[in-house]
Amino acid sequence: MTTDQISKLLLTDKDDPGYTYDPARDDKSVKDTPEVLTAGGSDCQTFVDAEEALSTKYGTVAQVDRALSKVAEGHGIHSSVAVLPTEEKGLTMLADLAAGLKGCKSLTLTQSDGPVTMAPSAIPAMMREGEVGFISYVTINGNTILMAFELDHVGKAVSEVVLIGPTTNDEKKLEQMGSTLGRLSDIQVERLKAAQGIN
């Protein structure tokens, strides 16, 4: 699959009305340099490398990331697909992600706009072979946001959908976030299956 083919499979404003995005801003680069962690240790490095589909580790052949936003409410969606050389590489990537997640409670990395701290924790109902789900409280420049991730292995590809919103302990809002994450992931997974001729 080429980057142009992947772009057609990613989520759009039609999948969750109210969001906007600019297809010209899709990131079509493969991540080939590991993030430098200033805190967190080896489990966290394993976790970050797998979440980013690091090409030097997994041989990622193509990747596209799209950001959709609902600016007024401070909500966002990240939709991405990484294509790997074999099905096994995709399963290995998610197994590494799950293993790293078990041992990584908090990490800090430095990005262009300053230090980013993440505190990830697994969503037990989404932890099975070929699927990983987790939430993470992410602090950037002193502002903390809540991110919910779902990654699914589909043939030679891995689908990732991330929901971003204000931090909350409100169970109803968290449940709503979980059901939206599941619905949007299912849409992207079905498109990936169809594109690869998988039933």
Q: Are 155 and 192 in contact (CB under 8 A)?
A: yes
Q: Rounded to an integer, what distance in angstroms lies between the CA atom of residue 70 and that of residue 179?
A: 18
Q: Mind listing the domains of the chain with CATH numbers?
A: 3-196 (3.40.1000.70)
> Tokens 């992600």 map to which residue?
97
Please state the rounded mean pLDDT for residues 88-98.
96
Buried b (16+ CB within 10 A) or exposed e, 31-53: beeebebeebeebbbbbbbbbbb
User: Rounded to two decimals, what is the model's pTM?
Assistant: 0.95
Task: Calculate the average pLDDT of the chain.
Answer: 94
**pLDDT tens per residue, range 114-158:** 899 999 999 988 898 899 999 999 999 889 999 999 999 999 999
Please state the rounded mean pLDDT for residues 59-85.
94
Please state the rounded mean pLDDT for residues 58-84.
94
Please state the rounded mean pLDDT for residues 6-10.
97
Query: Does the structure show a pLDDT above 80 at 86?
Result: yes
Query: Does the structure show a pLDDT above 90 at 112?
Result: no
Q: Rounded to an integer, what distance in angstroms lies between the CA atom of residue 76 and that of residue 58?
A: 27
Q: Rounded to an integer, what distance in angstroms lies between the CA atom of residue 66 and that of residue 75?
A: 14
Q: Residue 168's pLDDT is what?
A: 86
Q: Residue 63's pLDDT is what?
A: 97
The pair phi, psi for residue 64, each rounded to 5°, is -135, 135
For helices 87-103 and 41-51, give the axis angle rounded to 10 degrees: 140
Q: Residue 128's pLDDT is what?
A: 87
